[in-house]
Structure 1
Amino acid sequence: MATVLSDVALSYLQAGLSILPCRPDKKPALKTWSEYQKHLPTHEEVRSWFSTNGKSLAVIGGAVSGDLEIIDFDLEAVAFAQWSEFVKAENPGLYSKIVAEESPHGVHVFYRCQQAIPGNTKLAIKTDRKVIIETRGTGGYCLVSPSKGYQLKQGSIEKLPCLSADERALLIDAARACNELLPTTIKGYAEMNDGTLLPGVDFDTRGDVRAILQKHGWKSKGNSQDGRERWQRPGKNDNNHSATLTDGKIFYPFSSNAAPFESQKSYRPFAVYAILEHGGGFSAAAKALAAEGYGTSQTERANTSAGGRKPRFLNGRAMEKEFGKKVEMLWRDGIPKGNPCIFAGPPGIGKTSNVAQISKEITLANFKAWVLWVATEGFVSDHSDKWAKLHIPDRVVMLSDDKGVYKLQLDNWKDREFLDQSISALESETGGKCVAVVIDSIRGMQSMGENDPKLAGVMSAVNSLVCDKHRCACIYIAHHKKGREENRLNRVAGGTGIISSVRAVYTVEKISDLVCRIVPDKSNTLGHQASIYKSVLIETDDGFEISIVKDSDAFDDTQKSKSERFLVSLFREGTEFEAKEIYRRGATEGLSASVLKKAKSNLPIEVINSGVGTPWVWRCSLYNQNSSPSEKSMKIEEKKPNNINERHERHENLEDTPKTPRETRETRETRETRETREGNNCLPRNDSKHFSKLDPINLNLFENTKGNLSKEEVLI
């Protein structure tokens, strides 16, 4: 291998590339290598570097290697396919020029350029801030074939192409098009000033930036996989894009040919308006918007909505009278009435369709119930298509104003006030009750998107309006972040602030193309745990139906929680019960022995057995904490050993004495097997008579349990 690397290194040196030996950890195998960023090594140096095995070969970028630049695609080259499509569509001949090799975790693209090459530059970053594309230029280096794990796929490193400045710009723009993380600095007004709602801030909330872009020659090219809109600069006529628009509010041109915008800077709608309509004159733009009715003083707001309020003070009885004694469920055993909840999942998994089906069931169950739908992102025509195919009833309605504006920005007090008036108008005009408001989705409900820390405050304001004032459930639809967090709650985009703003969170997971699972991951309703459901998409002659049924296949904390409540209730009757009695009572509640055992592990329950042939006993100290000193003394006296029959007492108090090595051989598995066997022996002989009053589920549970018994055990 050393001979091969030495020969190839000399060949690269002959082609004008500065060479560098590296260790297995990719770090230079030289104490210092800065001199080789300025001049090429000698043939003798290269031979000595690679005279022994264990080295890797690298080339140094920049002027020393003839203005060499390498584009490094990392993280298993997740963005290489998108980059390649962009380049091929723009300039197919250029793609065939480049030299490419596979690396252990990605792809390297090599070329020289007719202009000076800058230093290493990050071009594309994922939302979790991991770099997916960057360059290796002046001052940087890159491992190359035939180092271990590197394999040449296209072209020859000894014959690198020399690209024009425009050709290089295209490759760099294509890489920046793969960027997922927006810059933190965004041009345009953002804050309130001196108690006045500035025209620019108001336009950021209500203005139509798409219309401005189209007016000046920009073209919409659809949405990318992550939901961002793709926009093409004026003068281009292919399928590529030059900028992205996130949530309709953050315009990000990455192309170096996107004048008058600067490349790699983000712009709010007001900044886009000022640059395109007023040549970058922000003051002139603000005056023009004010003349169109944008911008309102805070004084006007106070005079129209906040004046005249008087405080009320409600004790527990008053709140019970106003809100009810306990929280009831709006839909089956999920979605608490008058409370906020979230349905979350990855894009395109069916969150909107499942919530639409749930809305359908809510209105069909109560002829006076109405569900108000608020679109904050996407296209309303998409909702129209889904609702028609799913046969959504007329009492599920989409909110719009008389000007045909559907989308609300709920961080704006005007839009919240409009929502308030709309709920009241819906009820007064129909004579019905608005029982739920659907916000689709959290991502678009405010101007800065779901990652803005102020979003939790906006949700709190919406919850106060929808849930407290109007007694409606507020159903938010939320997206998942990219990546795969083990805890499903951590997958919800926007962080803990969003999760803390609601009472319940339901995760929509995809099982197959037609089946989803709806899992309750959070419930702050005391003593309540919702079921897990499956939703099945069924094609009909005139559309589709979604059938939502309980998921009987998955064991989840739902059954475990039910078992825990059963045990807590049971031990109110006494501190000790034989295992077989617990199993018998549990079976009447639809709880199997295995589920009860899992539940007891979270409770202060100890399992006791006095010896072979004696029954297993469960002892619980939940209700034994407030015994008087005299009662405790009596219990201690009862436990004192009796000298007349020490051996018998030793068996009786097995749990209170140290275990010998022989005694500890009985594993937990053995104990639980014996415990289950003896519990099964307690089942009555007349099975059908004993279970005649049980529902079919409990009867099946008994039949399944009985099937695990031996012939002799069934006859006992």
Structure 2
Amino acid sequence: MAVMWLRPHRYIQVARFINGYKGGVLMTKLAEIPEWILATATDGKPTLGQLYTPTTGDRNQSLARLTGIWINQNPGISRDGLIEMGLAWNSGIPSPLPEAEVKRTCKSIFDKHNRENQDRDRRENTKPLTFELVQGSKIEPEDITWLWRDWLPCGKLVILAGQPGTGKTTVMMSIAAITTIGGRMPDGTNAESGNVVIWSGEDGIADTLVPRLKAMGADMTKIYFVIGKSGLPFDPSKDLPMLAEHLKSIPDVKLIIVDPVVSAINGDSHKNAEVRKGLQPLVDLGLVTGACIAGISHFNKAGANTNPLDLISGSIAFAAVARVVLGAAKLHTPDEHGHSRIFCRIKSNIGPDEDGIGYDLCLEPLSVRTDIEASTVLWGQYVKGHSRDLLAQAQAEAKNSTKQAEAEEWLTDLLTAGPVASKTIQEEAKKAGLSFRTVRRAKERLKAIDYKVPGKGGQWMWMLPTEELDQVTCPDFTTKKLGQLGKLGQLTEGNIANLSNFTMKNVEENLDNLPSGACQTEQPFFDLEEEAI
């Protein structure tokens, strides 16, 4: 037999359509609800079967329970509708209650439910508001205050990002040291003295941060480190509200450094919503303390033509929430001012968003402990330009430097066993994923030698420089021991002077050793454009 199990009110409604009511009394019932279904749905409470078939002493209690169920399962049900359901239930039990008592019970439960809802709404509506509406005409405009004009705003979040090894933390320690003594910022502007709070999840305090700060002249009485307590580490993703409360006891906090800032995210740092939620306590910390909040982040491995904001590791929300984004990059070759690194503005919602300052890192011994050396920053010249150009140069140079080093190592391995044909080198470079232009630059840096084998159809060959070439016999000449020039073959007296790897003494001693016909062409030794490749 097929069984249909319906909620109580659905039971009544379906029955109404199947069998109909007569005088408000259900004439025929559907099949009984199986007890195993009722048992799983009630969790130890009276089953629906028990509520629908109560004993004489349980009728009022069963009706009250059912009335509550019907109200919860039928939001918006009217009092009359509830009474109708109660009367229908009453007509189906073995010993019905008086109709007036059923109506009174249903009405009482309905009114109680309404009062509870009204009380709840009243309590919610009387909660203190967390916001207010203020007319714009009543707000006086204020100027932005700066810890470092156009670079570090007070009360706002700043992100400093860069590749590992660029000295990001050292840069921030330099600015912290300047702040504690009210010194001159890197661009020459004066800083207002104040306290600095530092949390670092990457560098040691006693062996790294304190030595750097002391080496750069910080007033250590104005430096405060955030350290875990009772064996528990400080967690920026959870503990910032407590930090804000504790900072009320420290006056005049000008700078708060969080390294790395991604530690403030309690979730996926690549999801926009989670990053914004995680950064909000940092933004609030700036508003409460009035200090500049400086978070340190990393660049990803994107290419040289990437938008600088897209270089920041994680979600774009890091750059979006911060009012100022700064970048630090290491140059492969010093710039025109001799700087090996560049510190620049990538984005600013409240000031200029371009230009930079060159800097270098160096080790300095501590005055009180000369056996301890610490990294310090030597600030250099102000550099004009957009961050895209300044950072693109550094990114391209870093990428080229890595590729160049790879090419030099590859070419050295290839030529170690002896000379190799230029065409073969070109083919092998392609297999190795190296452009032949990069391989040529590697050849020049290694001072490798190229030469053409004498005779018709002779190939261009590459070989590593060696001092034992004068003991090598040219493969085309078997009658004489030849020096370096004999080995090289087709050379003229006019272009021999171009060979930087040979001395004039080598030239003079070997000119007479060239066999007849060895100097039949005028092809320059280092004319790469003439190579048959």
- Scaled by the length of structure 2, the TM-score of the pair is 0.40
Higher relative contact order (CA closer than 8 Å, sequence separation 6+): 2
- The structure with the greater share of residues assigned to helix is 2
**Structure possessing the higher radius of gyration over alpha carbons:** 2
